[in-house]
Structure 1
Amino acid sequence: MKIGILGGSFDPAHKGHLAISKEGKKRFKLEKIIWAITKKNPLKAESKTPISKKIKDCKKIIGLNSFIKVKFYENIIKSNKTIDLINYLKKNKNIEIFFLMGADNLINFHKWHKSELISQKCNIIVFDRHGYKKNSLKSKTFKRLNNKTLTFVEFNKVNISSSQLRKI
């Protein structure tokens, strides 16, 4: 079974998350996509939004797209690290994981906890984001993984971000 993981603080969830989920499903024939919500992205400031509100807002954005599941794993795996989530999900030997991210995340991916292990255990799908393509294609991770376990996807982008929405 091919599953996609879109991790993040989803503060707030928006149509950009939905767009890359739909594109990932279509292009990579993913059966299911999990929006793995975190309380705190280790590289960002702490979110003041409660997990319960994030889950509710994600489900509202997802609407009738039943292939997307919203999950909060931190209480189960006792971690907010991507590698710990992947290791937990990989206990099911019948799944192939595709980790979905925006191009902005690729720029600092080498700073993620055990980033090299993440790239060994799953396929990384990077979706172009307005204003980030140049720097993401110059990133350490792109240079190291290009065409191995990393795929850069250009598509009709949704020019929106959670950071922009929080400022409104």
Structure 2
Amino acid sequence: MNGFPAAKAGQMIGLLGGSFDPPHSGHVHITRAALRRFGLDRVWWLVSPGNPLKSDGPARLADRMQAARAIMRHPRVTVTDLEAKLGTRYTSQSLLQLRRRYPGVRFVWLMGADNLAQFHRWQDWRWIMEAVPIGVLARPGDRISARMSKAARVYRAAKLPKQAAHSLGQRDAPAWAFVNLPMSDQSSSAIRARGEW
């Protein structure tokens, strides 16, 4: 499908978006955890052309794609540049396009707890919550701010109990699950600060 990954109606596909500037073992860790904890068939990494909430531009997309493919090796994970192909800049726009392009596929948006803490700053964040289930993976130090965030409070009634997280992809939105994991504290910004990227 012109560089677009294949997917069949009924499949549950997690979408992990981000700059991946650079991709690291923490991204791999949460991806593997999401497959297992949320009962997903596949995960697609959406390596974005740029993050509207960050003032600095990321490294070249081709370099980040190459690095992401080198580190994320799993038969059920696909590294993509879908947002560049779709010409979208915001998550809501990407989701809208993907839902049109893949009718019947059950998408789940994946994010770290740090993103949930500031999710209310995303464009059309309420639409995203109402459009797809959301799987939140806790990283060290982000749990309390995420649980107390505006999005968590507004959508408190849509939060699944811990034991139901595995069924997240089968749920109709709004639905979200929060899982605590022994997490890697690796971060892209720390790697850049050390001059390793």
TM class by shorter chain equals over 0.9
Q: Which moved more, 1:42-51 or 1:157-166?
A: 42-51
Q: CA RMSD in A?
A: 1.2
Determine the structure 1 residue equivalent to 2:94: 85
Match among 171, 179, 185 for residue 159 of structure 1: 185
Structure 2 Cα separation of the partners of residues 48 and 111 of structure 1: 20
Mapping for residues 59-70 of structure 1, pairs under 5 Å:
59-63=69-73, 65-70=74-79
Q: CA deviation at 1:74?
A: 3.0
- Within a 5 Å distance, the mapping from 1:1-168 to structure 2 comes to 1-63=11-73, 65-91=74-100, 92-146=102-156, 147=159, 148-168=174-194
Contact 1:13 1:162 in 2 (8 A): yes
CA contact (8 A) 1:16 1:161 kept: yes
In the alignment, structure 2 segments of 5+ residues that lack a partner are 1-10, 160-173
Cα distance in 2 for partners of 1:141, 1:48 equals 27
TM-score (norm 1): 0.94
Aligned residues: 167
Q: CA deviation at 1:76?
A: 2.8
* Structure 1 position 47, deviation (Å): 2.8
Q: Does the CA-based 8 Å contact 1:9-1:40 persist in structure 2?
A: yes
- Flag structure 1 segments of 5+ consecutive residues without an equivalent: none
Distance apart, 1:45 and its partner CA: 2.4
Question: Per-residue deviation at 1:48?
Answer: 4.0
Take 2:83 and 2:143, find their aligned partners in 1: how far apart are those partners? 31
TM-score (norm 2): 0.81
Q: Which amino acid aligns with 2:193?
A: K
Percentage identity across aligned positions? 29
- Structure 1 consecutive aligned stretches of length 4 or more whose deviation exceeds 4 Å: none
